[in-house]
Structure 1
Amino acid sequence: MSEWSLSQLLSSLHEDIQQRLATVRKSFSHPGTKGDASENVWISMLETYLPKRYQASKAHVVDSLGNFSQQIDVVIFDRQYSPFIFTYENETIIPAESVYAVFEAKQTANAGLVAYAQQKVASVRCLHRTSLPIPYAKGVYPAKPLIPILGGLLTFESEWSPALGASFEKALAADVGDGRLDIGCVASHGHFFFDQPTASFSFVNENKPATAFLFKLISQLQFSGTVPMIDVEAYGQWLTK
């Protein structure tokens, strides 16, 4: 009989994330340092467990018209088909077409933070994205429809009681347009997601929130499909500006 336990493996994954976030909260007093450390915990988890077609990083997002998003704590983007990712002075710049999901990562969820996260997400979703027809041996596939960019929130704790309840839902429901937060995790309590068929938010309180969130995110990314073919020449025009 195998000595492996899938339940124990999944529990260990969550406990590792929760412990690292708790350590960050206790060990760092400077808000900026604490924030950077929290982001790194989430990025490390995503880089470790997401399929390798995805990459996670703190970044700005840019479009071919020269517009930039606000700085995003965690960007999940395509690395298999993206023709270019810019790195300048340790800052990462990602073309809008390559983005699958964006997250704001903080220590504690509250109404102000939710609104702030919604603004950050909207600053990415409002960017222009190109999509070219895709040539193949027998002809050309039509240009792919643009995939929805997922938006979300990642925290260790919540200021509300209960942590995932009516107050949290009210804050999330304040923007279900460009700033909508589709999925998120409060590592000490549970995860949430926006249910498209019912146009409402669902909250799940559980023992292993980080693991449950990761599985839900992977599921949603699977249904997102693949990013469109970028019009590289639309970016190339900036060489002559």
Structure 2
Amino acid sequence: MTEWNLANLLAGLHTEIHQKLEHSRALLGHPVLKGDATENVWLQLLGNYLPKRYSVARATVVDSNGKFSQQIDVVVFDRQYSPFIFTIEGQKIIPAESVYAVFEAKQAIDVENVRYAQDKIASVRRLYRTSLPVPNVSGIAKPKPLHRILGGLLTFESTWKTPFGQPLQQALAAGDPDGSLDLGCVAAHGHFSRCEDESYAFTLEGKPATAFLFELIARLQASATVPMIDMRAYAKWLAD
């Protein structure tokens, strides 16, 4: 009987993701299919391996002031405490308070795609979020401080000869601070993460998708739960 081996299990997970991303890249001549396939690989990865308290979907985010984000490839959001998620013609609309993280999924990382991801992330972070006092067995707890919505870019490869060299570092440092990337995965090379001092740590490794997944889970754990949404702030739109 073969004994379980954690290293082999993790290697198998990485191989599965890597092969799916390679397949999506091979859909040359079909940019829409290729883009959809890439997004679906990441949606499946996070949907399968994140704790069940999190849901993952392609979605648009809305706030109680009636403002909407751009459409986001991958949204990680709360489903346990979120009172409503709209699905209209297959498109999900998610309240801003429910969002933990947003990612753009592209075939390759380059200056243009970093800037594109930053713009998308900023469109979410600029939305207004409510936070009410939370009733519990001990009384009423203060409103939960709003957590930082994580933002990132997920790709298969890099257009740069040195994937994590100066060009990427400059691209990450530029742009609107509201859109700064917290995490990124280049599945063929490694992953990167934003540090507390706003610098970036770059990790070249053999199993980037798995390493990125573990880092994302660790950061989601640090975010705890989403704030208690003020339903009356949304209900005011019923009068219109």
Range into which the TM-score falls when normalised by the shorter chain: over 0.9
- In 1, Cα distance between the equivalents of 2:6 and 2:35? 32
Output the amino acid matched with 1:39.
Answer: E
Q: Which residue of 2 aligns with 1:124?
A: 124
Q: Which residue of 1 aligns with 2:184?
A: 184
- In 2, Cα distance between the equivalents of 1:138 and 1:156? 48
Q: Which residue of 2 aligns with 1:75?
A: 75
SS at match of 2:69: coil
Q: Which residue of 2 aligns with 1:45?
A: 45
Q: Which residue of 2 aligns with 1:93?
A: 93
> What is the TM-score of this pair, normalised by structure 2?
0.97
For residue 181 of structure 1, report the CA deviation from its aligned partner.
0.3
Q: Which residue of 2 aligns with 1:199?
A: 198
Q: Which residue of 2 aligns with 1:169?
A: 169
- In 1, Cα distance between the equivalents of 2:111 and 2:35? 18
Q: In the superposition, relative to structure 1, how do residues 176 and 216 fare at CA in structure 2: closer, same or farther (>3 Å)? A: farther
SS at match of 1:59: strand
Q: Deviations over 1:146-166 (max 9, x none)?
A: 011000000001101211121
**Number of residues paired by the alignment?**
240
- 8 Å Cα contact 2:85-2:93 kept in structure 1: yes
Name the Cα RMSD after superposition: 1.2
For residue 138 of structure 1, report the CA deviation from its aligned partner.
3.9
- 8 Å Cα contact 2:58-2:72 kept in structure 1: yes
Output the amino acid matched with 1:38.
Answer: T
Q: Deviations over 1:127-154 (max 9, x none)?
A: 0000000122342111110011000000
- 8 Å Cα contact 1:72-1:103 kept in structure 2: yes
- Which consecutive residues of structure 2, in runs of 5 or more, have no partner in the other structure? none
- Which consecutive residues of structure 1, in runs of 5 or more, have no partner in the other structure? none
* Match status 1:8 vs 2:11: no
* Match status 1:36 vs 2:32: no
- In 1, Cα distance between the equivalents of 2:18 and 2:2? 28
For residue 40 of structure 1, report the CA deviation from its aligned partner.
0.5
- In 2, Cα distance between the equivalents of 1:146 and 1:2? 48
Q: Deviations over 1:11-50 (max 9, x none)?
A: 1111111100100111352211111110000000000000
> Bigger CA drift: 50-59 or 162-171?
162-171
SS at match of 2:129: coil
Output the amino acid matched with 2:43.
Answer: I
- 8 Å Cα contact 1:165-1:203 kept in structure 2: no
Q: Which residue of 2 aligns with 1:229?
A: 228
